[in-house]
Each structure stands twice: as structure tokens, then as C-alpha cells.
A = this chain, B = another copy of it.
């Protein structure tokens, strides 16, 4: 069983999912694009959904790596939170696969895709929770419920970036940072 062949399948599927979406991607097409027999795919993956899930796992790993690349644990939490959220949400908005997923979930409600998006959201909030916990240990912020705070940060950030923009002029990075300063980090400052 060749690892090279497996990677060819993953690459072909990734491209197909990104171009056509999950639902409209056929295993026949993936096989042809990967230059393998269709049955070969099932040597490596149980089914279509598992193939997709492996690709999403890789995506999550990549996103996490990307976030880590802009984060500096020597910097204050507020700055890192903003950098991470900005980076992760920009990633989501600029990669064809995630763009397709958001659209497909909205227009077709494909279950596998909705689950994948939930995993993306889960990664982001888990990442934030981790940074919040570190900041609590260092005494940089007051003790709080890390998971709730991470959840809240994520929801607020996406509300600013996506929902606000539906009806208003888009907010600048600095404006969002300022709002986070005033409301979130002021509320988190040690007493």
C-alpha cells in the first residue's frame, strides 16, 4: 500500500471538494484525478465521509499551525487573541475549501459539511481557551470560565466580522481591537 498513492488521493479529493463541494464530488472523479482505480480509494479510506474527515483534520492542523505562526507567548493575551482570531477567520475566508463548505452548509445543509464546520469552530474556541488558561496562570487576567470566555470571544469576533458587515460598512481591524479592549479585556483585567 503506497503512501504516495494515498497522498495523491487526498490531494485530488481536496481539490475536488474545494471546487465542487462535498456533495457534488464523486469518488469516480477523485479516482480519475488521482490516477487510481476507484476501488483503490477504499484501501485507504472506509468511505467518502472518512476521506473528507481526513482532509478536514489536515485543514485543522494547518489552521492551528498558521495561528501559532503569528502568536508570541511573550505578548499579552489581548494581542494574541486578536492575532489568532484574525488569522483563523481570514484563513477561513480565503481558502477555497472552507469557502465552499460555508456555502454548501448554508445552501444545502449537507450534514458532513456542517459537522466539519462545527469542528473548525471547535478548534478556534479550544485554541482560545488554551491561551486564556495560560494567561490566568500567569496572573495576566482574573480567573474566569475559560471555555465560556473563549466562546464569547469567538462569537463576538464573528459577529463583528460577518454579521455587522451584512448591513454596515466593514469594521477595520483596529476598530475591532478597540471594541475588544473596551469590553472584553477590560472585563478580564485583574482586580
Contacts and interface: CB of A to CB of B under 8 A. Distances in A.
A152 B156 contact: yes
A163 interface: yes
A81 to B, nearest CB: 14
A151 B179 CA distance: 12
A151 B159 contact: yes
A176 to B, nearest CB: 11
Contacts of A152: 156, 159-160, 179, 183
A101 B156 CA distance: 25
A164 B148 CA distance: 8
A48 interface: no
A139 interface: no
Contact of A179 (B148, B179, B182): B148
A163 B144 CA distance: 20
Interface string A157-191: 00110011000000000000001001110110000
A155 interface: yes
A141 to B, nearest CB: 11
Contacts of A155: 155-156, 159, 163
A151 B155 CA distance: 12
Nearest to A159: B155
